[in-house]
Amino acid sequence: MPYQNLAATELVRACVDSADPGAWEEFVRRFQPTIAGVALRTARRWGESSPLVLEDLVQETFVKICADRRRLLRDFEPRHPEAFFGYLKVVTARVVHDYFKRTHAAKRGSEEGIQSLSGLFQQDPPDPAASRQIEQATLLGEIERRLEELSLGPTGERDRRIFRLYYQVGMSASTIAELPGMNLTVKGVESTIFRVTRLLRESLAESGSAAAAPGESLSGD
């Protein structure tokens, strides 16, 4: 199907309903400039214009769009032919604002977090279900910490992003390869996932937490 001939709302519906990678390729080609433009303007309000940060913001926006099996696209209700561009601008601006809010909150340190955690020890013993939730959160936190500590070389940030997109967001290797700034083939993405997973397993094994690591098998495309 010649997706480049579709109207914006038709292309969005095709991305939701079709497994054809051509639809997503056209989506990225057509809407990436809008996302990048809004990301730049919004980031400047926070005093930021670094190309690397802007690239991260564009990719985070695509992650947001694809999250939960592309829920944002499924929930979109067109009211006029160009409605999706306005919708996309709102989504992008929110992603950028959330990004800088998290960044600024992290800089305030961990004092508030320590105070909130201390409250856990002033309560009655949790029930088994609550205990399992705490254990799971602890394991996930350990995975994230180890992931940040891995020595992945000059492509470390990109490789960690690929890992999160694959395991946390559930994006396929082919979809990740199409994102702006990745500059990898599908095989390159798969190789990155396998390598980072192996290194993470080795790191977790050192502390006896190997069972908490993601599986090494790829879901395929």
Q: What is the pLDDT along the chain (221 residues), one digit of tens a residue?
A: 688 999 999 999 998 887 677 888 889 889 989 999 999 999 998 998 888 888 888 888 988 888 888 889 988 888 887 889 999 999 999 999 998 888 877 666 444 544 444 444 444 444 455 445 445 545 566 777 888 888 788 888 888 888 887 776 667 888 888 876 788 898 999 999 988 888 888 887 776 654 445 554 444 44
CA 82, 3, 28, 101: dihedral to nearest 10 degrees?
40
pTM exceeds 0.75: no
User: Which CATH topology does 128-210 take?
Assistant: Arc Repressor Mutant, subunit A (1.10.10)
- Which amino acid is residue 17, in one-letter code? D
Q: What is the CATH class of 1-107?
A: mainly alpha
In angstroms, rounded to a whole number, what is the distance separating the alpha carbons of residues 2 and 93?
30
Range(s) within the chain of domains with CATH label 1.10.1740.10: 1-107
Between vectors from CA 184 to CA 23 and to CA 64, what angle results, nearest 5°? Answer: 55
- CA distances to 18, 153, 161 from 55, rounded to whole Å, are 27, 19, 12
Which residues, 6 or more positions from 39, have their beta carbon under 8 angstroms from its beta carbon? 54, 57, 58, 61, 92, 95, 96
